[in-house]
């Protein structure tokens, strides 16, 4: 497991690091609560926080609280607090602050490794629950709940972001002609191609998928056109037939002062424009003063890019 060791004593850090690495763990050691929190906030944060209870500056209890908040529902973290004290109140405070376990300091090797094995079982169970709650069973992509949880987390952040919404063209006809098994195969193949481009795509409806892009609409437009091209380029193979599948895409940007709810509505409007404008195209939404017009930019036919498609800008 990846273990973040927060221990102010240099000798203690060296001994524990050697003990844990000998058992096959990856260890990142630091000497302050502030530095530990920085490591915890990184996207590829640790599985376990093994921390002393005696820090200067930020208290260990503050670190526990902060670590538990950073972990969130999509990122499990096992926290073990080390202390030479036998004070029951201190133990209770640490557990109330977010710690999962408590061990004496210096910890005995056999006991520490056993507690880490117990922590791994807990982390594995939490990850499985997260997988069940966050992933779509049919396609393996993130599900609607996970996508809107991501939107909620991004809502408070000031950086520019865009939303991409896509829909499989004429999907009802696929179900009507080839049954729901055929429809499921189309969904699975479309999802596979989406995941190859960006694993963060989510299935948010029957044949509707979405992606949160942390960047301007131009960045999202490049992804949208790549997705459109990849889906249209090759037919989807069913047991008795090959189907030419295309998608329509709407893209919107969350501008300063705009909520993601409004950006999602703009992306849906752009998607509708792609559908009503002929399908197999990408429409970019730009909204200002509650007025909008369409400016079409047809793409030239190119077998390497799939069937003819268009990029359409919904200009303010």
Cβ atoms 95, 38 nearer than 8 A: no
Please tell me the predicted confidence (pLDDT) of residue 201.
97
Helix, strand, coil fractions of the chain, as percent rounded to 5 = 45, 25, 30
Quickly state the pLDDT bin for 316 (edges 50, 70, 90). very low
* Residue 38 backbone dihedrals phi, psi, to 5 degrees: -60, -45
Distance CA 297, CA 291 (A): 20
Give the C-alpha distances (Å, rounded to integers) separating 163 from 10, 68, 114, 276, 298: 47, 29, 45, 20, 23
Quickly state the pLDDT bin for 73 (edges 50, 70, 90). low
Selection from 249, 280, 307 nearest residue 170 by Cα: 280
Alpha-carbon dihedral sign for residues 194, 197, 202, 208: negative
Look at residue 93 and tell me whether its pLDDT is greater than 70.
Answer: yes
- Calculate mean pLDDT across residues 130-153: 91
> Torsion over CA of 133, 136, 140 and 142, rounded to 10 degrees?
-70
Cα within 13 Å of Cα(150), Cβ side: 19
Distance CA 108, CA 165 (A): 54
Please tell me the predicted confidence (pLDDT) of residue 311.
54
Please tell me the predicted confidence (pLDDT) of residue 72.
65
**What pTM was estimated for this model as a whole?**
0.68
Please tell me the predicted confidence (pLDDT) of residue 85.
77
Please tell me the predicted confidence (pLDDT) of residue 292.
35
- Calculate mean pLDDT across residues 203-232: 96
Residue 40: exposed, middle, or buried by beta-carbon count in 10 A (0-12, 13-18, 19+)?
buried
Distance CA 202, CA 155 (A): 18
Cα within 13 Å of Cα(194), Cβ side: 28
Cβ atoms 250, 210 nearer than 8 A: no
Please tell me the predicted confidence (pLDDT) of residue 58.
65
**Residue 135 DSSP symbol:** B
Look at residue 6 and tell me whether its pLDDT is greater than 80.
Answer: yes
Please tell me the predicted confidence (pLDDT) of residue 74.
67
Lookup result for tokens 């997705």: 227
Please tell me the predicted confidence (pLDDT) of residue 17.
96
Distance CA 142, CA 191 (A): 10
Please tell me the predicted confidence (pLDDT) of residue 304.
36
- Calculate mean pLDDT across residues 137-148: 94
Supply the mean pLDDT for the chain: 86
| Higher-pLDDT residue of 70, 216 | 216
Q: Tell me the percentage of the chain whose pLDDT exceeds 70.
A: 89
Active site residues: 207
| Higher-pLDDT residue of 310, 121 | 121
Quickly state the pLDDT bin for 297 (edges 50, 70, 90). very low
Give the C-alpha distances (Å, rounded to integers) separating 89 from 86, 92, 95, 260: 9, 5, 10, 44
Residue range 97-108, pLDDT digits in tens: 889 998 988 999
Question: Cα-atom radius of gyration of the chain, to the nearest Å?
Answer: 25
Please tell me the predicted confidence (pLDDT) of residue 257.
80
Residue range 151-206, pLDDT digits in tens: 988 888 888 899 999 999 999 999 999 999 999 999 999 999 999 999 999 999 99
- Calculate mean pLDDT across residues 108-134: 92
């Amino acid at each position: 497991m990846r273990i973040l060791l927060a221990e102010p004593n240099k000798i203690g850090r060296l001994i524990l690091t050697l003990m844990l690495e000998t058992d096959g763990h990856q260890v990142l050691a630091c000497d302050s609560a502030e530095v530990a929190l920085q490591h915890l906030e990184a996207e590829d944060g640790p599985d376990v926080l093994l921390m002393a209870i005696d820090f200067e500056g930020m208290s260990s209890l503050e670190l526990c609280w902060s670590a538990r908040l950073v972990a969130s529902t999509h990122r499990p973290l096992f926290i073990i607090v080390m202390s030479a004290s036998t004070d029951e109140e201190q133990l209770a405070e640490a557990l109330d602050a977010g710690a999962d376990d408590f061990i004496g300091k210096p910890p005995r090797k056999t006991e520490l490794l056993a507690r880490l094995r117990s922590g791994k079982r807990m982390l594995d169970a939490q990850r499985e629950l997260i997988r069940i709650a966050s992933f779509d069973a049919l396609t393996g992509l993130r599900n609607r709940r996970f996508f809107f949880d991501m939107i909620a987390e991004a809502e408070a952040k000031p950086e520019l972001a865009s939303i991409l919404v896509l829909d499989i063209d004429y999907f009802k006809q696929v179900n009507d002609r080839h049954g729901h098994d055929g429809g499921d195969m189309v969904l699975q193949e479309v999802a596979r191609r989406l995941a190859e481009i960006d694993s963060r795509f989510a299935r948010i409806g029957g044949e509707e998928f979405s992606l949160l892009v942390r960047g301007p609409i131009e960045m999202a437009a490049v992804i949208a056109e790549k997705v459109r091209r990849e889906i249209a380029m090759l037919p989807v193979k069913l047991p008795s037939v090959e189907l030419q599948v295309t998608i329509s895409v709407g893209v919107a940007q969350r501008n300063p002062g705009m909520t993601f709810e409004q950006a999602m509505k703009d992306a849906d409007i752009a998607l509708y424009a792609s559908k009503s404008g002929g399908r197999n195209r990408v429409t970019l939404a730009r909204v200002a003063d509650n007025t909008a017009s369409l400016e079409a930019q047809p793409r030239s036919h190119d077998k390497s890019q799939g069937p003819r498609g268009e990029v359409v800008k919904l200009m303010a």
